[in-house]
Amino acid sequence: MAGYRLVDVAKPFLPILPEVEVSYEKVSFDDKVVYTIISGLIYLFGQFPLAGISKDESNVKDPIFFLRGVFGAEPKSLLEFGIFPIISSGLILQLLAGLKVISVNFKLQQDRELFQTLTKLFALLQYFVLTNIFILSGYYGENLTVVQIGVLNLQLVGAGFIAILLTEVVDKGFGFASGTMTINTMVIATSLVADTFGVSQITVDAEGHKEAQGAIINLVQGMRSKHRTFLGGIVSAFNRDYLPNLSTTLIVLAIGATVCYLQSFRLDLPIRSTKARGVNNVYPIRLLHVGALSVSFSYVLLTYIHIFAFALIHLVAKNNSQSIICKVLGHYETVNNILYTPTFPLSLLTPPRSLLSGLFEQPLTFVVYTGFMLITGVWFANHWQAMSGSSARDIAVQFKEQGITLTGRREQSVAKELEKVIPVASTTGAALLALVTVIGEVLGLKGKAAAIVVGVATGFSLLELISMDYQQTGGQSALAQVLGAPGRF
Amino acid sequence: MARINEKSQGASQIEKLTDAPLEFVKEGQQFLAKCKKPDVKEYTKIVRAVGIGFVAVGVIGYAIKLVHIPIRYLIV
């Protein structure tokens, strides 16, 4: 297959797929803020309930409930799969290109365009495949008519396509950083607020009692509700397991604070100018050099494994525990009529529903799941730092262009010195983040731990980018004036 | 220090397989020891900035989500 490249697959689609044009003029700070927020809001608004699914409860429950948080996926809505296809397609194709598995010459304009189209195409394909796996498994109800299947496909793939374009708007310089990052942070922040202060009342038992979604609102309501004692209300606010409770909210906040703490770990390398004497400064190397991407990557892999297993178990073996596939992979069991948890071999990669049930029913999970998160996270960080544009070599080139060097080093050995620090920083950071995630997940947060790790880490870097941009524009922002915050960052 | 201990515990499962993880943990610990950690003042500033950002964005997002509730009744 000499001369054949994967990027060429995208060639026929190049004229068909719509593309966001890069802006001709520089996008002003205020515009960027508006674009960033609005694209996030459109995404949030897009979490519409699906039309055309059968009304009675399906036997097939949500098999990926613990993976949804990281990808902003809302069950039974237009964004059933969230931005998972976009993140996975971007990460995996870039990783493959970086590892030279698929050959792309990023110096050529045409190759870049092809690669970009390929990424979009791959994301769209994933939306399509995921949709049909879920439809065929009976997740949206059994015995759907052809029309219903068509309508579902149209909704889910169509919404996915809009999501792809939304992220592209931000990516192409109309917003800050990358689109998936922005959307992710917004969705995670929203669900955090909804879980804490959410006022919507949800019927929780057969007698029709209603409780608020938000943990704090529920606490206040529980104290004065009629069907509970004062103390009972408080206890239930802390340990109800059908809706967010105060304990999980507190754990989530603690994890967020930990990530903030880790985020500000840095090694300050002393630098000096090669042109002017006596100009000394420091260049910070962050502990979280690759940010939360390592956690995202682990979760992308985890999702692939689970979706693949789900497809095999449901489409081929029909979730029949006698079938050979189910004996090898395990099958799904419904817990509390809401959760769908896999049994033995597959359960190794499923974080437990709660700490206690995990300890008694699936103790091996702790080892395997932790190992999986650590190994994939570290492996990813190690490769990503070398090709992400902020590798030791790239930074050394930047140093040279700006006429700076590490204090006490010759210019030639700068790259070597950075080479000693950056890979260690990225892998250590990835391992720590993986551990924080695992600790939270093992406590039974059902995906919220991973979500808050990704959310806070990306939110932090967004904040940093925004404040940098703000300073570069000299604080000339009407928005900041309206908000009355000159240089609050 | 507690966090570093957790790390070596977490890695200890794979430790038996090869020596590489051992070295990895050692290098990591050395790096962490050299790192500049935030002091209380800096840390509170960071947490406040991230917190305000998170809550502000979350509230806007949640307002949008509230709009969904009546729509949900209309459709389903």
Contact B76 A186 (CB under 8 A): no
Contact A45 B67 (CB under 8 A): yes
Which residues of chain B carry a pLDDT beneath 50?
Answer: 1-5
Give me A165's structure tokens: 């374009």
Rounded Cα gap, residues A427 and A446, in angstroms: 25
Rounded Cα gap, residues A467 and A370, in angstroms: 35
- Across A131-135, A418-422, A463-467, the highest mean pLDDT is recorded for A131-135
Quote the pLDDT of residue A1: 40
Residue B2 in domain: no
Tell me the pLDDT of chain A averaged across its residues. Answer: 81
Contact A266 B35 (CB under 8 A): yes
Contact A425 B37 (CB under 8 A): no
Residue A476 — very low, low, confident or very high, per pLDDT cuts 50/70/90?
low
Find the mean pLDDT for residues A425-449: 87
Find the mean pLDDT for residues A66-80: 85
Please identify among residues 9-38 of chain B the ones whose CB lies closer than 8 Å to any CB of chain A: 10-11, 13-14, 24, 27-28, 30-32, 34-38
Helix or strand holding residue A267 (H, E): strand A266-273
Amino acid (1-letter code) at residue A454: V
Residue A488 pLDDT > 50, yes or no?
no
> Among candidates B30, B38, B34, which has minimal Cα distance to B8?
B30
Residue A483 pLDDT > 80, yes or no?
no
Closest residue on chain B to A364 (Cα) = B13
Contact A266 B43 (CB under 8 A): no
Contact B10 A456 (CB under 8 A): no
Q: Which of A44, A421, A489 sits opposite B61 (nearest CB)?
A: A44
Task: Give the residue with greater pLDDT, A33 vs A328.
Answer: A33
Domain range list for chain A: 8-20+27-196+243-469
Q: Which of A198, A267, A378 sits opposite B34 (nearest CB)?
A: A267
pLDDT in tens, A79-99: 888 899 999 999 999 888 888
- For the ranges A46-60, A66-80, A410-424, A457-471, the lowest mean pLDDT is seen at A46-60
Contact A428 B28 (CB under 8 A): yes
Q: Which of A41, A198, A267 sits opposite B60 (nearest CB)?
A: A41
- Across A62-76, A227-241, A340-354, A449-463, the highest mean pLDDT is recorded for A449-463
pLDDT in tens, A215-261: 888 888 877 777 777 777 778 778 777 778 888 888 999 999 999 88
How many domains does one find in chain B?
1
* Chain B residue numbers touching A51 (CB-CB < 8 A): 75
Q: How far is B5 from chain A (nearest CA, A)?
A: 11
Residue A199 pLDDT > 50, yes or no?
yes
Residue A419 pLDDT > 70, yes or no?
yes
Q: pTM for the whole thing?
A: 0.86
Count Cα neighbours of A1 within 13 Å in the Cβ-side half-sphere. Answer: 6
Residue A268, strand partner residues: A284
Helix or strand holding residue A334 (H, E): strand A332-335
Burial of residue A345 (number of CB atoms within 10 Å: 0-12, 13-18, 19+) = middle
* CATH class of the A8-20+27-196+243-469 domain in this structure: mainly alpha
Strands (E) in A109-161, as ranges, are: none
